[in-house]
Structure 1
Amino acid sequence: MDRKRELTSVDLAALEGELSVYEGAGVGKVYLYPDADLLRFRMRHYDHGRTELLVEVGENKRVNVTAPDHVPEAPERPPNFAMMLRNRMQGAELTDVSQYEFDRILELTFERDEETTRVVAELFGDGNVAILDGTGEVIDCLETVRLKSRTVAPGAQYEFPSARFNPLGVDYDAFAARMRDSDSDIVRTLATQLNFGGLYGEELCTLAGVDYNVPIEEATDEQLHALYDAMRRLADRLADSDLDPRVYYELSNPDAEDPTDEDGEIDGRRVDVTPIPLAEYDQRYGEPFESFNEALDDYFTYASDEGDDSGDSAGGASQRPDFESEIEKHERIIQQQQGAIEDFEEQAERERENAEALYANYDLVDDILSTIREARGADHSWDDIEERFAEGAEQGIPAAEAVVTLDGSEGTVTVEIDGERVTLDANEGVEKNADRLYKEAKRIEGKKEGAEEAIEQTRRELEEVKERRDEWEAAEAGEAGADGDGDESDDEGGEDEEVDWLSEPSIPVRQSEHWYEDFRWFHTSDGFLVIGGRDAEDNEDLVKKYLDRGDRFFHAQAHGGPATILKATGPSESYDGDVDIPESSKREAAQFAVSYSSVWKDGKFAGDVYEVSPDQVSKTPESGEFLEKGGFAIRGDRTYYENTEVSVAVGITCEPETRVIGGPPSAIEPATETAIRVEPGRYAQNDIAKRLYREFKERFADDSFLRKIASPDQIQEFLPPGGSRMSDD
């Protein structure tokens, strides 16, 4: 198991309350450790004494107060960023700690005299720390960010990322609507659409007794209610700071009765830290701590010294999947599903017995219901009726004694018959109330049938995991035998076996977000990023924000087309003049530029493209000319790619990420597990996208895989404007 390196949204929700106890602490000095992207605030609190607050946004991303003997040695010369903070914040008091929405962003507010300083720690992506004044303007930041969606740069107003959905404060209707809006399965919807992440998405499913992999369109209202109840319990614990933190270990000997070694230390390595115990980790050793902050300090102080998975060999052998944990998880789900089936059986039997009890006590129940209806017909209030029943009970009248309570808002009466309490509709007779109970028993039995189907599916998945484990172990045994022969060459023995993803029964989903996904994009066959605009506004932003020294600019020799940039360097790299872009990448960028232009829309199969350097692209028109939005003046000589063929391939990647990609066939086809070429044709974008989606779905043995990672809308994003058809190539 890979160790945890970043705090989750749930972690920050728990940490927010704990760190608030340090409000009032005064800042002494601020240190920056550039190699680790680590900020250290040395403070003093009236009650807590010396307080060392760490904000790390590098390889590890966390915020916590650490013990004084855990702080790293101060740098000899403070960088300018640290000096700026010292000048601005020395003597300031910490006045507020807050999580932004349900995002991985923590705000620390400091006050000195009438001056406000906000430290915004972004614990996602590449990580960042922005220092803001009282108006929200960025004074300085560790990393400058200039994206289409937001800007974080000195002198600019700080822009938070688009607010993520916060599930912790919503009612059931909003929760259910968000879930139903997904086209994925339950656990992935919780992880992505409700922003819980994978671990807590699985945890909620486990607590609710709901199978992870149920597609949303097949999820029942009962399952959503169970998930919502589990989420509310988690939300209440976080809001009340009802925490019970754990640092979880991967033990060297999981079967040992005592997890400690001869020195009394836990014999294993730390792999996770959580604010509450997790059912997902029932089979894993967890060390309890008094506070989540103390657990974080222990984890991030020592985990990095314990190394990575011991299963990784120096020779780069592939890591063995954790089949045992997966098997245990499926077995635990089966136990929970069996318990749910037993509960359904008991509930259904109880409803039937209650219905039969109504008939067995027909006269008594009819007397109660008739009394209520007659009193309501005479305009008596529900309170008056309840008082009459109470008086009757004191007089020993059996019908009155059987009444437990009345609910005027619902029009119901709860009675106790044969030791069981039954809620009845006071406007209906005995027969209709009994019939309603029989129908409820039948409905619950339907839930039981659904649970039985789910348990069979879980058992099949368990058998698949066991089969994969057996295949893996057989392959390992075969490799060991081959190594022992001495006949196989070292080169051949070191190669990883290629996976036939199309035939795999279950494909793991691995995705991450990238800044360039707001535009058209692809990576060339040589690994260079190419980005293009989808409209005039995109073209403006691309040239203004992303066209850098060393890049190459491409555009079709036709009106209407993407401003296309072949990037020489990444967004955080500086161009040193020593980047040689191969001709193959340039030709792919040219094909990209013409394929997504009006040439395709006009039904043509080729067009001309020109290439220039960044300094030849200008928004300043010649005298007497006018440049419309998205247009540019090109000055100087151009390199032409004449009669460039229009052609686009759309494909599905399975590693290292699972996603849809599209662009020139020479770049896309080798990078995908399967791809389809398209050319100008008669089908509208949405129609051809649906055709491609159906075709891709049929190519994978894993029926649910494509639905998890793609949709016709996502495929459509990679299709050129205008009509298309599948190519015969």
Structure 2
Amino acid sequence: MIDKFSSLDIHAFININMDKIKGSFIKKIYQVSPKIFLFNLYGQGEGKFPFYVDLSRVIAFYDPERPETPSQVTMVLRKSLSERRIVNVEQLNFDRVVKLTMHTGQEIIFELFREGNLIVTNSGKIEFVLSPREWRNRKLKVGEIYIPPSQNDPSSMSDEEVWGVLNQSKASLVQTLATRMNLGGEYSEELISRIGMEKSAMPPFEKVQTDKILEGIRSLMRESTLNKSYIYSEKRLFSPVEMKSIVSEVPIVFENFNKGLSHYILNFKPLDREKSPLERRIESQQRSIEEFRKIMEDENNKGKIIISNMPLINNLLSRIRRYEKEKALKFPLKMEGMDIDLADPAKKIVQIDLGGDRVELFYNKSPGENSSYHFDRSKEYRSKIEGALTAIQETQKMMNVKKVEKKKARSKQWFEIYHWFITSDGFLVIGGKDAKSNEKVVKKHMGDNDYYVHADIHGAPSTIVKAENGVKPSEKSLNEACAFALSFSRAWAAGMRSGSAYWVTPLQVSKTPESGEFISTGSWVIRGKRNYIFDLPLDLEVSTINYKGNDIPEIAPTGVIRKEEGKNIVRITPGDVKRNVIAREISKILGIGVEEIESILPPGSSQIIS
């Protein structure tokens, strides 16, 4: 997964942990946040253990900080589910849906796609839903029968069914595997790489190819249950299988699925980023495809039912027309042991229950005309799906086109009034730009757990490394902060290639001078041992990070900015090209305004070296 569980991740979690969950009792339930729940479970031989459900992200055995006061939702769930024994845990239709079945017949259903949802049913009927929703063929409302999202389940599909899905698709192989087989993007690309096919391959496929694809899917599913996990830090990817298609990075390997998952949750927080309009457009188009596919399958099924029951339907419709002619037509009707309701008087449409399926029929048309109507409706929605897939491809092309254009002014973040960067370990570093901001950095922003950094040269900026939630910055982050402080000192304008800096704790930083001395604005007295770092290079990289939907230029010591596909990084050192000229060159490369680039560059001239 990248920030969100996929169907294969859920398949792995359930198969590895089924025995631990089955037979356990629900003790207490907590609502940690609007979309995060903690179920305290107790199992024979296991004792108490936490079952953590982030509806918008992941399920795991993870114990977060618990709220002291239970929410109203929590009280409802506790009353309904406390002390219930879990008799089964399963994944529905190889989808991102998990179902816990209680000994009472109740079911807890976690839908882990899109915004996520939590549903409680009793004998199949919904008695609680966190976020009520309604679609044409599916209603998540109290009192309704729960219907899971319809998806193909590759774990139970025959060779012929797989062949049908692949060859009836109008999309490329990677898109078909991701959506119709529910593998998701990362695992679809991994599968295609393993079997030696092309992502862009289009149907029809030969039987030998579909056999390879099906065996590849089953191989991934088997491998996912081996109780191992792999973390690819650069891609923020957690996987229960080795991603052999990723050759640029050696993963962190855990010989236990749950240990790797806990490590991922603790160290890879969800990215705080607003979706762009194009991303929201794609999500809307994907939701439309889901709905169109359900309607297409439903209409196709109705057409088949009518063909299978031609004699019976012909008899029923003939009798209805006769009653109408004799002015004796009244609804509901009871014929052949079936209830017939009037659905639309103007169009002369009735609803008939045929073997548990509700089918709409025009009683002024023949059975053949009725079946053709539903098949035509199915084809109409197939065309809509093809149109939506084409629209998604066009939107993705728009997202990939890089345009250098003047952008509207954005609201700046508080730290952008200073020199700043994010260390490779995720700590924020800020430094003053002048005497007043040097004063402000220390007085306003330096906390007890932070560190003060200063280059070993007069006139360097006061720089601090911010501790995150009480976690002390690492030695690596302190080294990077020292290199940063040195680069923004007079050493850069002087053309120096290396230098030294030191770090101290906040208790060593004082505004109280020795007797007879004076401390000017922006200057500080340092007492006690200084932790020096020598031979620091004056070498910086400029790129962008996405923060709340905006591309913000960032400058940091070389090696700090994470390299990603499609991301441009410009490396600079002290040189003889004026600051405004360098800013214009970097602006063209990154597609960021010249003013924004110039505001983050070190004082003095520079040169681009890569």
Category of TM-score, reference length = shorter chain: 0.3 to 0.5
Q: Relative to total residues, which structure has the larger helix share, 1 or 2?
A: 1
